[in-house]
Homo-oligomer: A and B are copies of this chain.
């Protein structure tokens, strides 16, 4: 099986990060990886945001996150342990990634609130 490509910290680009995080599904995944203590696997996200995603699609999303430099993936037996590269990113980009995640969090909260207003619970 092909080795997993991870860019060196110096090769991580802003455009790569922004592109990776410009997809709501990928952000949900990334935010959960950041938030979580233990590493997350691909199949932790088969259901996300009320949608069921095929695993081929998920695999692609993880690849994008990995090759953008946002996460580190290690095979551990059958599964893949994904962890965030926080420290390296902060080192290189200051609080940019944090600011993005925060902005998304607020947006998701708004959207959830709006949805709840539409459908005021069953």
Residues of A within 8 A of B (CB): 13-16, 18-19, 21-24, 27, 93-96, 99-100, 102-104, 107
How many copies of the chain does the oligomer comprise?
Answer: 2
Chain B CB within 10 Å, residue with most, of A19, A27, A93, A103: A103
B22-A107 in contact (CB<8A): no
A54 CB, nearest partner CB in chain B, Å: 21
Task: Provide the residues of chain B in CB contact with A107, threshold 8 Å.
Answer: 13-14
Structural contact, A14 and B93, CB atoms closer than 8 A: no
- The distance in angstroms between the C-alpha atoms of A104 and B12, with both chains bound, is 12
Partner of A19, one of B19, B103, B104: B19
Chain B CB count within 10 A is highest, among A15, A23, A94, for A15
